[in-house]
Amino acid sequence: MSIIVFAEHDKGTFKKSSFEALTYAQDLAATKNLAVTAVVIGAANSNLNELGNHGANKVISVKGNNLDTFSAEAFSHVMAKVAGDENASIVIISNTYSGKSIAPRVAVKLGAGIISGVISLPKDDFSVKKTAYSNKAMAFVKLKSDKKVFSLVPNSYEVKNFGLSAEIKEITMDIDSSAIHTKSLNISKASGKIPLTEAEIVVSGGRGMKGPENWGLIEELAGLLGAATACSKPVSDMDWRPHEEHVGQTGITIKPNVYIAIGISGAIQHLAGVSSSKVICVINKDAEAPFFKAADYGIVGDAFEILPQLIARAKLLKN
Amino acid sequence: MRILVCISVVPDTTSKITFKDSNTKFNTEGVQFIINPYDELALTKALEIAESNNGTVTVINVGLADAEPSIRKALAIGANDAIRVNAEPKDALFVATQIAKIAKENNYDIILTGRESIDFNGGLVCGLLGELLNIPSINVVTKLELQNGKIIASRDIDGGHEELECSIPCVLSAQKDLCEPRIPNMRGIMSARTKPLVVNEPLSENDYAEYVSFELPEPKQGVKMIDAANAGELLDLLRNEKKLI
Protein backbone atom coordinates (compact mmCIF):
# COMPACT_ATOMS: atom_id res chain seq x y z
CA MET A 1 0.00 0.00 0.00
CA SER A 2 1.19 3.48 -0.69
CA ILE A 3 0.36 7.15 -0.73
CA ILE A 4 0.82 8.88 -4.04
CA VAL A 5 1.46 12.59 -4.44
CA PHE A 6 1.07 14.77 -7.53
CA ALA A 7 4.45 16.55 -7.83
CA GLU A 8 3.43 19.58 -9.86
CA HIS A 9 6.08 21.56 -11.63
CA ASP A 10 6.20 24.66 -13.77
CA LYS A 11 8.48 24.07 -16.76
CA GLY A 12 10.59 21.74 -14.68
CA THR A 13 10.67 23.70 -11.42
CA PHE A 14 8.74 22.02 -8.63
CA LYS A 15 6.19 24.13 -6.83
CA LYS A 16 6.57 24.75 -3.12
CA SER A 17 3.05 23.34 -2.73
CA SER A 18 4.33 20.01 -4.10
CA PHE A 19 6.95 19.85 -1.35
CA GLU A 20 4.24 20.66 1.20
CA ALA A 21 2.10 17.82 -0.17
CA LEU A 22 5.08 15.42 -0.01
CA THR A 23 5.89 16.43 3.56
CA TYR A 24 2.26 15.91 4.52
CA ALA A 25 2.27 12.51 2.82
CA GLN A 26 5.47 11.38 4.55
CA ASP A 27 4.20 12.48 7.98
CA LEU A 28 0.99 10.56 7.30
CA ALA A 29 2.87 7.54 5.90
CA ALA A 30 4.99 7.31 9.03
CA THR A 31 1.89 6.74 11.18
CA LYS A 32 0.38 4.12 8.85
CA ASN A 33 3.53 2.32 7.77
CA LEU A 34 3.06 3.27 4.12
CA ALA A 35 5.48 4.44 1.44
CA VAL A 36 5.22 7.71 -0.45
CA THR A 37 5.42 7.81 -4.23
CA ALA A 38 5.75 11.14 -6.03
CA VAL A 39 4.36 11.30 -9.57
CA VAL A 40 6.00 13.73 -11.98
CA ILE A 41 4.19 14.21 -15.26
CA GLY A 42 5.91 15.61 -18.35
CA ALA A 43 9.48 16.71 -18.81
CA ALA A 44 10.84 17.96 -15.48
CA ASN A 45 14.42 19.08 -15.92
CA SER A 46 15.03 19.79 -12.28
CA ASN A 47 16.53 17.43 -9.80
CA LEU A 48 14.12 14.60 -8.99
CA ASN A 49 16.17 13.92 -5.83
CA GLU A 50 14.64 17.09 -4.39
CA LEU A 51 11.43 15.10 -4.05
CA GLY A 52 13.15 12.50 -1.87
CA ASN A 53 14.48 15.20 0.37
CA HIS A 54 10.94 16.45 0.99
CA GLY A 55 9.36 13.07 1.63
CA ALA A 56 9.19 10.77 -1.41
CA ASN A 57 10.37 7.17 -1.01
CA LYS A 58 9.92 6.63 -4.72
CA VAL A 59 9.59 8.95 -7.72
CA ILE A 60 7.78 7.92 -10.87
CA SER A 61 8.54 10.20 -13.77
CA VAL A 62 5.94 9.77 -16.50
CA LYS A 63 6.66 11.00 -20.00
CA GLY A 64 4.82 10.50 -23.24
CA ASN A 65 2.67 12.02 -25.95
CA ASN A 66 0.35 14.80 -24.78
CA LEU A 67 1.95 15.03 -21.34
CA ASP A 68 4.09 18.12 -21.81
CA THR A 69 1.18 20.54 -21.55
CA PHE A 70 -1.31 20.31 -18.75
CA SER A 71 -4.75 18.94 -19.46
CA ALA A 72 -7.13 17.74 -16.76
CA GLU A 73 -8.12 14.71 -18.81
CA ALA A 74 -4.59 13.42 -19.52
CA PHE A 75 -3.10 14.24 -16.12
CA SER A 76 -5.96 12.70 -14.16
CA HIS A 77 -5.66 9.57 -16.31
CA VAL A 78 -1.95 9.26 -15.48
CA MET A 79 -2.50 9.86 -11.75
CA ALA A 80 -5.25 7.25 -11.57
CA LYS A 81 -3.24 4.73 -13.59
CA VAL A 82 -0.17 5.10 -11.36
CA ALA A 83 -2.35 4.99 -8.24
CA GLY A 84 -3.74 1.66 -9.44
CA ASP A 85 -0.31 0.25 -10.37
CA GLU A 86 1.13 1.31 -7.01
CA ASN A 87 -1.85 0.01 -5.07
CA ALA A 88 -2.36 3.45 -3.53
CA SER A 89 -4.91 3.89 -0.79
CA ILE A 90 -4.41 7.65 -0.46
CA VAL A 91 -3.77 10.30 -3.10
CA ILE A 92 -2.53 13.76 -2.07
CA ILE A 93 -2.88 16.64 -4.52
CA SER A 94 -2.19 20.26 -3.66
CA ASN A 95 -5.17 22.57 -4.13
CA THR A 96 -3.53 24.69 -6.83
CA TYR A 97 -5.55 25.57 -9.94
CA SER A 98 -4.22 22.54 -11.80
CA GLY A 99 -4.51 20.33 -8.72
CA LYS A 100 -8.15 21.34 -8.32
CA SER A 101 -8.80 20.40 -11.96
CA ILE A 102 -7.53 16.85 -11.62
CA ALA A 103 -8.30 15.82 -8.00
CA PRO A 104 -12.06 15.24 -8.47
CA ARG A 105 -11.48 13.38 -11.75
CA VAL A 106 -8.90 11.13 -10.10
CA ALA A 107 -11.33 10.41 -7.25
CA VAL A 108 -14.08 9.26 -9.63
CA LYS A 109 -11.66 7.09 -11.63
CA LEU A 110 -10.51 5.36 -8.44
CA GLY A 111 -13.93 5.12 -6.82
CA ALA A 112 -12.47 7.13 -3.97
CA GLY A 113 -14.01 9.68 -1.66
CA ILE A 114 -12.51 13.15 -1.80
CA ILE A 115 -12.02 16.06 0.58
CA SER A 116 -10.71 19.35 -0.72
CA GLY A 117 -9.28 22.16 1.34
CA VAL A 118 -7.54 19.86 3.82
CA ILE A 119 -5.35 21.70 6.37
CA SER A 120 -4.23 19.03 8.85
CA LEU A 121 -3.19 15.40 9.18
CA PRO A 122 -6.02 12.95 9.88
CA LYS A 123 -6.95 12.23 13.49
CA ASP A 124 -7.22 8.65 14.80
CA ASP A 125 -10.69 8.24 13.31
CA PHE A 126 -9.25 9.47 9.98
CA SER A 127 -11.22 12.71 10.08
CA VAL A 128 -9.33 15.67 8.64
CA LYS A 129 -9.72 19.37 9.24
CA LYS A 130 -10.79 21.41 6.26
CA THR A 131 -11.72 25.02 5.67
CA ALA A 132 -15.46 25.72 5.57
CA TYR A 133 -17.74 28.72 5.32
CA SER A 134 -14.97 30.49 3.43
CA ASN A 135 -12.57 30.34 6.36
CA LYS A 136 -15.10 31.60 8.87
CA ALA A 137 -14.98 28.07 10.32
CA MET A 138 -13.25 24.72 10.06
CA ALA A 139 -14.91 21.34 9.63
CA PHE A 140 -13.76 17.85 10.60
CA VAL A 141 -14.68 15.50 7.78
CA LYS A 142 -14.36 11.74 7.59
CA LEU A 143 -14.32 9.71 4.40
CA LYS A 144 -16.16 6.41 4.47
CA SER A 145 -14.52 5.02 1.34
CA ASP A 146 -11.43 2.75 1.43
CA LYS A 147 -9.59 4.92 -1.09
CA LYS A 148 -9.18 8.57 -0.30
CA VAL A 149 -8.17 11.69 -2.19
CA PHE A 150 -7.12 14.73 -0.17
CA SER A 151 -6.46 18.09 -1.75
CA LEU A 152 -4.25 20.15 0.50
CA VAL A 153 -4.47 23.94 0.89
CA PRO A 154 -1.17 25.57 -0.15
CA ASN A 155 0.79 27.15 2.75
CA SER A 156 -1.03 25.04 5.34
CA TYR A 157 1.71 22.47 5.95
CA GLU A 158 5.33 23.39 6.54
CA VAL A 159 7.93 21.84 4.23
CA LYS A 160 10.39 19.49 5.97
CA ASN A 161 13.68 17.98 4.84
CA PHE A 162 13.67 14.21 5.31
CA GLY A 163 16.82 13.62 3.30
CA LEU A 164 15.47 10.40 1.78
CA SER A 165 17.13 9.11 -1.35
CA ALA A 166 14.17 8.15 -3.46
CA GLU A 167 14.16 5.29 -5.92
CA ILE A 168 13.61 6.88 -9.33
CA LYS A 169 11.63 5.10 -12.02
CA GLU A 170 10.94 6.47 -15.49
CA ILE A 171 7.96 5.23 -17.43
CA THR A 172 6.37 6.09 -20.76
CA MET A 173 2.64 6.52 -21.11
CA ASP A 174 1.32 7.87 -24.40
CA ILE A 175 -2.06 9.57 -24.30
CA ASP A 176 -4.05 9.42 -27.50
CA SER A 177 -5.00 12.88 -28.79
CA SER A 178 -8.59 11.71 -29.20
CA ALA A 179 -8.82 11.34 -25.40
CA ILE A 180 -8.17 15.03 -24.86
CA HIS A 181 -10.91 17.50 -25.68
CA THR A 182 -9.22 20.70 -24.59
CA LYS A 183 -6.43 22.49 -26.40
CA SER A 184 -4.26 25.12 -24.74
CA LEU A 185 -4.15 28.21 -26.98
CA ASN A 186 -2.19 30.65 -24.90
CA ILE A 187 -0.71 31.01 -21.42
CA SER A 188 -0.10 34.48 -20.00
CA LYS A 189 1.76 34.89 -16.74
CA ALA A 190 3.02 37.95 -14.97
CA SER A 191 6.74 37.17 -14.86
CA GLY A 192 8.67 37.31 -11.63
CA LYS A 193 5.55 37.65 -9.52
CA ILE A 194 5.07 35.46 -6.48
CA PRO A 195 1.79 33.50 -6.69
CA LEU A 196 -0.54 34.89 -4.04
CA THR A 197 -1.52 31.51 -2.60
CA GLU A 198 2.12 30.53 -2.08
CA ALA A 199 3.41 33.84 -0.75
CA GLU A 200 4.73 33.95 2.82
CA ILE A 201 4.22 37.70 3.06
CA VAL A 202 1.36 39.60 1.44
CA VAL A 203 0.94 43.38 1.18
CA SER A 204 -2.64 44.33 0.43
CA GLY A 205 -4.37 47.61 -0.37
CA GLY A 206 -7.95 48.80 -0.07
CA ARG A 207 -10.00 51.85 -0.92
CA GLY A 208 -7.80 53.89 1.42
CA MET A 209 -5.18 53.82 -1.36
CA LYS A 210 -7.43 56.29 -3.21
CA GLY A 211 -6.64 55.10 -6.74
CA PRO A 212 -4.71 52.65 -8.92
CA GLU A 213 -2.02 55.25 -9.57
CA ASN A 214 -0.89 54.92 -5.94
CA TRP A 215 -0.15 51.19 -6.09
CA GLY A 216 3.51 51.90 -6.76
CA LEU A 217 3.93 52.27 -2.98
CA ILE A 218 2.33 48.87 -2.30
CA GLU A 219 4.44 47.24 -5.00
CA GLU A 220 7.64 48.84 -3.73
CA LEU A 221 7.07 47.63 -0.18
CA ALA A 222 6.10 44.18 -1.44
CA GLY A 223 9.22 44.03 -3.61
CA LEU A 224 11.46 44.87 -0.67
CA LEU A 225 9.83 42.27 1.58
CA GLY A 226 9.67 39.56 -1.10
CA ALA A 227 5.91 39.71 -0.77
CA ALA A 228 2.97 39.23 -3.13
CA THR A 229 0.41 42.01 -3.59
CA ALA A 230 -3.31 41.67 -2.96
CA CYS A 231 -6.37 43.90 -2.71
CA SER A 232 -9.87 44.15 -1.25
CA LYS A 233 -13.11 43.49 -3.14
CA PRO A 234 -14.04 47.15 -3.82
CA VAL A 235 -10.60 47.73 -5.32
CA SER A 236 -11.02 44.79 -7.69
CA ASP A 237 -14.65 45.75 -8.45
CA MET A 238 -13.52 49.26 -9.47
CA ASP A 239 -10.85 47.67 -11.69
CA TRP A 240 -8.03 49.39 -9.85
CA ARG A 241 -6.41 45.95 -9.63
CA PRO A 242 -6.99 42.64 -11.46
CA HIS A 243 -9.52 40.24 -9.91
CA GLU A 244 -6.89 37.59 -9.22
CA GLU A 245 -5.47 39.87 -6.50
CA HIS A 246 -8.83 40.02 -4.70
CA VAL A 247 -8.65 38.24 -1.36
CA GLY A 248 -11.81 37.60 0.66
CA GLN A 249 -14.84 35.40 0.79
CA THR A 250 -15.64 35.66 -2.91
CA GLY A 251 -12.01 36.03 -3.92
CA ILE A 252 -8.93 34.04 -3.00
CA THR A 253 -8.34 32.63 0.46
CA ILE A 254 -4.77 33.03 1.62
CA LYS A 255 -2.78 32.01 4.69
CA PRO A 256 0.59 33.74 4.58
CA ASN A 257 2.88 34.20 7.59
CA VAL A 258 2.38 37.96 7.45
CA TYR A 259 -0.57 39.88 6.02
CA ILE A 260 -0.19 43.66 5.87
CA ALA A 261 -3.50 45.42 5.10
CA ILE A 262 -3.35 49.06 4.14
CA GLY A 263 -6.49 51.15 3.88
CA ILE A 264 -8.81 48.14 4.27
CA SER A 265 -11.57 48.48 6.88
CA GLY A 266 -11.98 44.73 7.43
CA ALA A 267 -15.50 43.74 6.38
CA ILE A 268 -16.51 40.23 7.49
CA GLN A 269 -16.17 38.99 3.89
CA HIS A 270 -12.59 40.27 3.67
CA LEU A 271 -11.64 38.75 7.03
CA ALA A 272 -12.92 35.38 5.82
CA GLY A 273 -10.22 35.31 3.17
CA VAL A 274 -7.27 36.31 5.35
CA SER A 275 -8.05 35.29 8.92
CA SER A 276 -5.81 32.22 8.78
CA SER A 277 -2.72 34.40 8.28
CA LYS A 278 -0.23 33.89 11.14
CA VAL A 279 0.26 37.60 11.82
CA ILE A 280 -2.10 40.34 10.63
CA CYS A 281 -0.93 43.97 10.49
CA VAL A 282 -3.54 46.64 9.90
CA ILE A 283 -2.87 50.21 8.82
CA ASN A 284 -5.96 52.41 8.70
CA LYS A 285 -6.63 56.06 9.40
CA ASP A 286 -9.93 55.20 11.09
CA ALA A 287 -9.19 53.99 14.63
CA GLU A 288 -12.67 52.41 14.69
CA ALA A 289 -12.04 50.20 11.63
CA PRO A 290 -13.27 46.69 12.51
CA PHE A 291 -10.08 45.14 11.11
CA PHE A 292 -8.11 46.25 14.22
CA LYS A 293 -10.10 43.71 16.27
CA ALA A 294 -8.73 40.89 14.10
CA ALA A 295 -5.18 42.25 13.97
CA ASP A 296 -1.96 41.42 15.81
CA TYR A 297 -0.35 44.79 15.07
CA GLY A 298 -2.13 48.03 14.24
CA ILE A 299 -1.16 51.53 13.16
CA VAL A 300 -3.72 54.32 13.05
CA GLY A 301 -2.58 56.65 10.31
CA ASP A 302 -2.81 57.73 6.70
CA ALA A 303 -1.52 55.21 4.16
CA PHE A 304 0.49 57.90 2.39
CA GLU A 305 2.34 58.82 5.58
CA ILE A 306 2.87 55.27 6.83
CA LEU A 307 3.90 53.52 3.60
CA PRO A 308 6.97 55.73 2.93
CA GLN A 309 8.15 55.02 6.49
CA LEU A 310 7.73 51.26 6.00
CA ILE A 311 9.53 51.41 2.66
CA ALA A 312 12.44 53.32 4.21
CA ARG A 313 12.71 50.80 7.07
CA ALA A 314 12.43 47.83 4.71
CA LYS A 315 15.34 49.23 2.68
CA LEU A 316 17.35 49.60 5.87
CA LEU A 317 16.60 46.03 6.97
CA LYS A 318 17.43 44.67 3.55
CA ASN A 319 20.92 46.14 3.69
CA MET B 1 -28.27 24.54 -27.43
CA ARG B 2 -29.26 23.19 -24.02
CA ILE B 3 -27.47 24.49 -20.95
CA LEU B 4 -27.64 23.14 -17.41
CA VAL B 5 -26.66 25.39 -14.50
CA CYS B 6 -26.00 23.82 -11.09
CA ILE B 7 -26.88 26.08 -8.20
CA SER B 8 -26.37 25.66 -4.50
CA VAL B 9 -28.06 27.63 -1.77
CA VAL B 10 -25.70 29.11 0.83
CA PRO B 11 -25.72 31.52 3.79
CA ASP B 12 -25.51 35.17 2.73
CA THR B 13 -21.92 36.48 2.67
CA THR B 14 -22.56 38.80 5.64
CA SER B 15 -23.72 35.90 7.87
CA LYS B 16 -22.09 35.31 11.21
CA ILE B 17 -21.30 31.61 11.24
CA THR B 18 -22.21 29.68 14.40
CA PHE B 19 -22.94 26.04 15.20
CA LYS B 20 -25.34 24.14 17.45
CA ASP B 21 -25.75 20.64 18.94
CA SER B 22 -22.19 20.54 20.32
CA ASN B 23 -20.74 22.04 17.14
CA THR B 24 -22.11 19.33 14.88
CA LYS B 25 -24.71 21.37 12.96
CA PHE B 26 -24.76 24.76 11.30
CA ASN B 27 -27.00 27.18 13.17
CA THR B 28 -29.41 28.57 10.59
CA GLU B 29 -31.16 30.91 13.02
CA GLY B 30 -31.30 34.46 11.67
CA VAL B 31 -29.31 33.45 8.59
CA GLN B 32 -30.52 34.49 5.17
CA PHE B 33 -29.90 32.06 2.32
CA ILE B 34 -28.96 33.10 -1.21
CA ILE B 35 -27.92 31.55 -4.50
CA ASN B 36 -24.18 30.89 -4.24
CA PRO B 37 -22.58 34.03 -5.78
CA TYR B 38 -20.42 32.08 -8.28
CA ASP B 39 -23.47 30.06 -9.37
CA GLU B 40 -25.24 33.35 -10.12
CA LEU B 41 -22.40 34.21 -12.50
CA ALA B 42 -22.74 30.78 -14.11
CA LEU B 43 -26.46 31.39 -14.56
CA THR B 44 -26.00 34.82 -16.12
CA LYS B 45 -23.37 33.51 -18.53
CA ALA B 46 -25.64 30.61 -19.47
CA LEU B 47 -28.46 33.06 -20.26
CA GLU B 48 -26.15 35.17 -22.43
CA ILE B 49 -25.06 32.12 -24.43
CA ALA B 50 -28.61 30.79 -24.71
CA GLU B 51 -29.93 34.15 -25.95
CA SER B 52 -27.45 34.39 -28.79
CA ASN B 53 -27.70 30.70 -29.76
CA ASN B 54 -31.42 30.09 -29.55
CA GLY B 55 -30.90 27.91 -26.48
CA THR B 56 -32.58 27.06 -23.21
CA VAL B 57 -31.30 27.16 -19.65
CA THR B 58 -32.29 24.65 -16.96
CA VAL B 59 -31.21 25.13 -13.37
CA ILE B 60 -30.66 22.21 -11.04
CA ASN B 61 -30.34 22.17 -7.28
CA VAL B 62 -29.75 19.30 -4.90
CA GLY B 63 -31.54 20.45 -1.79
CA LEU B 64 -34.61 20.28 0.39
CA ALA B 65 -37.82 22.26 -0.08
CA ASP B 66 -36.38 25.29 1.72
CA ALA B 67 -34.15 25.86 -1.35
CA GLU B 68 -37.18 26.66 -3.53
CA PRO B 69 -37.24 30.45 -3.01
CA SER B 70 -33.67 30.58 -4.37
CA ILE B 71 -34.60 28.30 -7.28
CA ARG B 72 -37.55 30.60 -8.07
CA LYS B 73 -35.13 33.51 -8.03
CA ALA B 74 -33.00 31.72 -10.64
CA LEU B 75 -36.16 31.33 -12.76
CA ALA B 76 -36.90 35.04 -12.24
CA ILE B 77 -33.41 35.92 -13.43
CA GLY B 78 -34.27 34.09 -16.66
CA ALA B 79 -33.84 30.31 -16.54
CA ASN B 80 -36.50 28.42 -18.52
CA ASP B 81 -37.13 25.65 -16.05
CA ALA B 82 -35.76 24.05 -12.91
CA ILE B 83 -35.14 20.66 -11.32
CA ARG B 84 -34.75 20.07 -7.62
CA VAL B 85 -33.36 16.78 -6.40
CA ASN B 86 -35.03 16.31 -3.07
CA ALA B 87 -32.05 15.50 -0.82
CA GLU B 88 -29.78 17.15 1.64
CA PRO B 89 -26.58 18.12 -0.24
CA LYS B 90 -24.32 16.05 2.01
CA ASP B 91 -21.07 16.06 0.11
CA ALA B 92 -19.76 17.00 -3.31
CA LEU B 93 -19.66 13.49 -4.72
CA PHE B 94 -23.23 12.81 -3.61
CA VAL B 95 -24.40 16.07 -5.24
CA ALA B 96 -22.46 15.44 -8.45
CA THR B 97 -23.83 11.89 -8.70
CA GLN B 98 -27.41 13.20 -8.52
CA ILE B 99 -26.75 15.87 -11.15
CA ALA B 100 -24.89 13.43 -13.42
CA LYS B 101 -27.90 11.11 -13.48
CA ILE B 102 -30.15 13.89 -14.73
CA ALA B 103 -27.53 15.21 -17.15
CA LYS B 104 -27.22 11.75 -18.72
CA GLU B 105 -30.95 11.64 -19.40
CA ASN B 106 -31.05 15.06 -21.05
CA ASN B 107 -27.93 15.54 -23.21
CA TYR B 108 -26.99 19.08 -22.28
CA ASP B 109 -24.41 20.80 -24.48
CA ILE B 110 -22.90 22.89 -21.73
CA ILE B 111 -23.01 22.43 -17.95
CA LEU B 112 -22.01 25.33 -15.74
CA THR B 113 -21.29 25.44 -12.01
CA GLY B 114 -19.79 28.04 -9.72
CA ARG B 115 -16.09 27.92 -8.90
CA GLU B 116 -16.97 26.70 -5.41
CA SER B 117 -19.80 27.10 -2.93
CA ILE B 118 -19.06 29.62 -0.21
CA ASP B 119 -20.19 27.22 2.53
CA PHE B 120 -18.26 23.99 1.89
CA ASN B 121 -15.66 25.53 -0.45
CA GLY B 122 -15.08 22.22 -2.17
CA GLY B 123 -14.81 23.38 -5.77
CA LEU B 124 -15.26 19.74 -6.77
CA VAL B 125 -18.57 19.43 -8.59
CA CYS B 126 -17.24 20.67 -11.97
CA GLY B 127 -14.46 18.06 -12.16
CA LEU B 128 -16.61 15.31 -10.66
CA LEU B 129 -19.31 15.89 -13.27
CA GLY B 130 -16.71 15.93 -16.04
CA GLU B 131 -15.45 12.51 -15.03
CA LEU B 132 -18.87 11.01 -14.20
CA LEU B 133 -20.17 12.08 -17.62
CA ASN B 134 -16.88 11.42 -19.40
CA ILE B 135 -16.70 14.94 -20.83
CA PRO B 136 -14.00 17.64 -20.52
CA SER B 137 -14.06 19.99 -17.53
CA ILE B 138 -12.50 23.44 -17.20
CA ASN B 139 -12.22 24.98 -13.76
CA VAL B 140 -12.30 28.60 -12.60
CA VAL B 141 -13.24 30.25 -15.88
CA THR B 142 -13.19 34.04 -16.36
CA LYS B 143 -14.08 34.15 -20.07
CA LEU B 144 -16.39 31.94 -22.05
CA GLU B 145 -17.53 32.22 -25.65
CA LEU B 146 -19.03 29.89 -28.18
CA GLN B 147 -17.27 30.11 -31.55
CA ASN B 148 -18.23 27.83 -34.46
CA GLY B 149 -19.59 25.21 -32.13
CA LYS B 150 -16.51 25.23 -29.89
CA ILE B 151 -15.92 26.73 -26.49
CA ILE B 152 -13.20 29.34 -26.10
CA ALA B 153 -12.50 29.82 -22.39
CA SER B 154 -9.93 31.46 -20.20
CA ARG B 155 -9.14 29.85 -16.86
CA ASP B 156 -7.14 31.09 -13.89
CA ILE B 157 -3.79 29.39 -13.33
CA ASP B 158 -1.21 30.16 -10.64
CA GLY B 159 0.02 33.67 -11.44
CA GLY B 160 -1.86 34.11 -14.71
CA HIS B 161 -4.40 32.81 -17.23
CA GLU B 162 -4.66 30.07 -19.80
CA GLU B 163 -6.80 30.36 -22.90
CA LEU B 164 -8.28 27.07 -24.05
CA GLU B 165 -10.39 25.64 -26.81
CA CYS B 166 -12.77 22.87 -25.89
CA SER B 167 -15.33 20.72 -27.69
CA ILE B 168 -18.90 20.39 -26.45
CA PRO B 169 -20.41 18.83 -24.44
CA CYS B 170 -18.34 20.08 -21.53
CA VAL B 171 -18.58 21.37 -17.97
CA LEU B 172 -17.08 24.65 -16.74
CA SER B 173 -16.96 26.46 -13.40
CA ALA B 174 -17.52 30.21 -13.14
CA GLN B 175 -15.11 32.64 -11.50
CA LYS B 176 -15.52 36.35 -10.80
CA ASP B 177 -15.02 38.49 -13.94
CA LEU B 178 -16.95 36.01 -16.11
CA CYS B 179 -19.85 38.49 -16.24
CA GLU B 180 -21.91 40.84 -14.09
CA PRO B 181 -24.69 38.95 -12.31
CA ARG B 182 -28.19 39.77 -13.52
CA ILE B 183 -30.87 41.09 -11.23
CA PRO B 184 -34.43 39.84 -11.79
CA ASN B 185 -36.88 42.38 -13.19
CA MET B 186 -40.60 42.57 -12.41
CA ARG B 187 -41.61 40.61 -15.50
CA GLY B 188 -39.12 37.90 -14.60
CA ILE B 189 -40.43 37.68 -11.06
CA MET B 190 -44.03 37.38 -12.31
CA SER B 191 -43.23 34.73 -14.91
CA ALA B 192 -41.06 32.70 -12.48
CA ARG B 193 -44.17 31.70 -10.55
CA THR B 194 -45.50 29.66 -13.44
CA LYS B 195 -42.26 28.25 -14.86
CA PRO B 196 -41.82 24.48 -14.39
CA LEU B 197 -40.00 23.35 -11.24
CA VAL B 198 -39.78 19.57 -11.22
CA VAL B 199 -38.91 17.70 -8.02
CA ASN B 200 -37.02 14.42 -8.43
CA GLU B 201 -36.24 11.90 -5.75
CA PRO B 202 -32.53 11.16 -5.29
CA LEU B 203 -30.67 8.03 -6.29
CA SER B 204 -30.17 6.02 -3.14
CA GLU B 205 -26.39 6.10 -3.51
CA ASN B 206 -24.35 6.51 -0.41
CA ASP B 207 -22.54 9.64 0.55
CA TYR B 208 -18.79 9.24 0.91
CA ALA B 209 -18.03 11.97 3.41
CA GLU B 210 -19.34 12.67 6.87
CA TYR B 211 -19.09 16.07 8.52
CA VAL B 212 -18.19 15.06 12.08
CA SER B 213 -17.97 18.49 13.70
CA PHE B 214 -17.13 22.13 13.17
CA GLU B 215 -15.00 24.64 14.99
CA LEU B 216 -14.59 28.39 14.88
CA PRO B 217 -11.18 30.04 14.52
CA GLU B 218 -9.53 31.04 17.78
CA PRO B 219 -10.00 34.70 18.59
CA LYS B 220 -6.95 36.96 18.37
CA GLN B 221 -5.11 37.76 21.57
CA GLY B 222 -5.57 41.51 21.09
CA VAL B 223 -3.90 44.06 18.91
CA LYS B 224 -0.62 45.78 19.72
CA MET B 225 -0.74 49.38 18.52
CA ILE B 226 2.27 51.12 17.04
CA ASP B 227 2.67 54.90 16.96
CA ALA B 228 2.12 56.35 13.48
CA ALA B 229 5.16 58.59 13.89
CA ASN B 230 7.31 55.50 14.30
CA ALA B 231 5.62 53.17 11.80
CA GLY B 232 8.89 51.49 10.83
CA GLU B 233 8.80 49.72 14.18
CA LEU B 234 6.23 47.36 12.67
CA LEU B 235 8.90 45.76 10.51
CA ASP B 236 11.33 45.57 13.46
CA LEU B 237 8.68 43.70 15.47
CA LEU B 238 7.95 41.33 12.58
CA ARG B 239 11.65 40.58 12.37
CA ASN B 240 12.68 40.47 16.02
CA GLU B 241 9.53 39.45 17.88
CA LYS B 242 7.90 37.18 15.29
CA LYS B 243 10.98 36.29 13.22
CA LEU B 244 8.85 36.26 10.09
CA ILE B 245 10.65 38.74 7.83
Q: At residue B157, does pLDDT exceed 80?
A: yes
Task: List CB contacts (< 8 A) between B237 and chain A.
Answer: 297
Distance CA A205, CA A120 (A): 30
pLDDT at A192: 66
Query: Structurally, how many domains does chain A consist of?
Result: 2
Domain termination site, one of A149, A179, A209: A179
Tens of pLDDT, residues A197-236:
889 999 999 999 999 999 999 999 999 999 999 999 999 9
Residue B95 pLDDT exceeds 70: yes
Q: Residue B82 pLDDT > 80, yes or no?
A: yes
- What is the structure's pLDDT at A45? 67
Least Cα separation, residue A296 to chain B (angstroms): 5
Query: Count of A–B CB contacts within 8 Å?
Result: 268
The stretch B150-167 carries a mean pLDDT of: 94
| Chain A residues with CB-CB distance to B97 below 8 A | none
Contacts of B177 in chain A (CB under 8 A): 243
- Reported as a single tens digit per residue, the pLDDT across B2-24 is 999 999 999 998 888 999 999 99
pTM: 0.91
Q: Which residue of B has its CA nearest to A268?
A: B14
Confidence of residue B207 (pLDDT cuts 50, 70, 90): confident
On whether residue A108 sits in a domain, the answer given is yes
**Which residues in chain B have Cβ-Cβ distances shorter than 8 Å to A256?**
none
For chain B, the distance separating the N- and C-terminal CA atoms, rounded to the nearest angstrom, is: 54
Residues with Cβ within 8 Å of residue A32, at least 6 apart in sequence: none
Q: B-chain residues within 8 Å CB-CB of A109?
A: 131
Residues A32 and A163 in one domain: yes
Mean pLDDT computed over A256-285: 95
What value does the mean pLDDT of chain B take? 94
Residue of A nearest to B220 (CA): A294
**Closest chain A residue to B227, measured at CA:** A299
For each of the domains in chain B, give its residue range(s) and CATH number, in order of start: 2-215 (3.40.50.620)
**Whether residue A234 is found in the same domain as residue A138:** no
Question: Could you report the per-residue pLDDT of A77-107, keeping only the tens digit for each?
Answer: 999 999 999 999 999 999 999 999 999 999 9
Tell whether A185 is covered by a domain: no
Which string of b and e fits A226-258 if b means at least 16 CB within 10 Å?
Answer: ebbbbbbbebbeeebbebbbbbbbbbbbbbbbb
Asked if residue B186 has pLDDT above 90, the reply is yes
Q: Which of B38, B154, B234 to mutate to test the interface with A (most CBs of A within 10 A)?
A: B234
Question: What is the average per-residue pLDDT within B122-138?
Answer: 97
For testing the chain B interface, which of A133, A262, A288, A317 should be mutated: the one with the most B CBs within 10 Å? Answer: A133
Residue A189 within any structural domain of the chain: no
The answer to whether the Cβ–Cβ distance between A278 and B244 falls below 8 Å is yes
Q: Write the pLDDT tens digit of every residue in A1-55.
A: 899 999 999 888 899 999 999 999 999 999 988 999 999 999 876 789 899 999 9
Examine the pLDDT at A252 and tell me if it is beyond 90.
no
Set of chain A residues whose Cβ sits within 8 Å of the Cβ of B124: 103-104, 114, 116
SS3 of B183-200: the string is CCCHHHHHHHCCCCEEEE
Contact assignment for A108 to B121 by CB distance below 8 Å: no
- pLDDT reported for residue A236: 95
Q: Place A191 in a pLDDT band, splitting at 50, 70 and 90.
A: low
Which pLDDT tens digit goes with each residue over B55-78?
999 999 999 999 999 999 999 999
Contact at CB, B123 and A100, closer than 8 angstroms: yes
Instruction: Give the 3-state secondary structure of residue A29.
Output: helix
Q: Does A147 share its domain with A237? A: no
In terms of domains, do A203 and A174 share one?
no
In this structure, is residue A312 part of a structural domain? yes
- The ipTM (two decimal places) reads 0.94
Question: Distance, in angstroms, between B115 CA and closest chain A CA?
Answer: 10
Range of the domain at A314: 196-318
Residues 6+ apart with CB under 8 A from B129: B6, B96, B99, B100, B103, B111, B113, B135, B137, B171
